[in-house]
Structure 1
Amino acid sequence: MTETPGRHPRFDDDLVGLDPDDPEARAFAEHLDRMQRCDPAFTVEASIKGVAEFAEGSNRAGGLRWWIAALVVLLIMTGVVVTAWDTLGDLLRWLAR
């Protein structure tokens, strides 16, 4: 099978009959790719990719979902700041000895 440049390969296999130029069909093909991805999740690269996917998903979300995503990010950042502050305090106490 020959693949047209710029055409998603799913239109030749899973999405036969759908218009590959339709933005909703393209979005659905990308959604299927994300749902069927089986990369290892225990590497740094996979963790960074997961954060990037979360950011892309929260950018697409609106209303209450966007606010919940923003709250999750705020809670994570608060945990990072508190942990860094605690570590810095321990370091300064250790250096003061």
Structure 2
Amino acid sequence: MTESERNPRFDEELAGLDPEDPEARAFAAHLDRMQRCEPGFTIESSLRQVEDFADSSNRAGGLRYWVAALVAALIVFGVVVASWDIIVRALQWLAR
């Protein structure tokens, strides 16, 4: 790992841990995600939160994976229903 790839947490909070250890790097990345401070109302932040949800659901296994898949399917179903409602109302409005 080069110096530019090194997480500064190993110098501050994780002093004494091996920065080459995959588990220590994963823990440092987890701490970075937990302490990320950004506004939640921007498009970029919303997409980043969806990305974090997808990454964490891919790492999960068993029941947690299926619950995450169900949540994603329900979100997609809600978008489809809302879109269908908008299309039907627009066609009704145009038919008048």
Please confirm whether the aligned pair reaches a TM-score higher than 0.5, indicating the same fold.
yes
| TM-score normalised per structure 1 | 0.93
Describe the SS at the equivalent of 1:27.
helix
Gaps of 5+ in 2: none
Counterpart of 2:41, as a letter, is F
Counterpart of 2:15, as a letter, is V
| TM-score normalised per structure 2 | 0.94
**Percent identical:** 63
**Who is 1:27 aligned against?**
26
Describe the SS at the equivalent of 1:21.
coil
Partners in 2 of 1:40 and 1:23 — Cα distance? 30
Q: CA RMSD in A?
A: 1.1
Partners in 2 of 1:22 and 1:5 — Cα distance? 17
Alignment of 1:1-97 (within 5 A): 4-97=3-96
Partners in 2 of 1:5 and 1:52 — Cα distance? 24
**Paired residue total:** 95
Describe the SS at the equivalent of 1:39.
coil
Q: How far apart are 1:43 and its partner, in Å?
A: 1.1
Counterpart of 1:54, as a letter, is F
Partners in 1 of 2:25 and 2:10 — Cα distance? 9
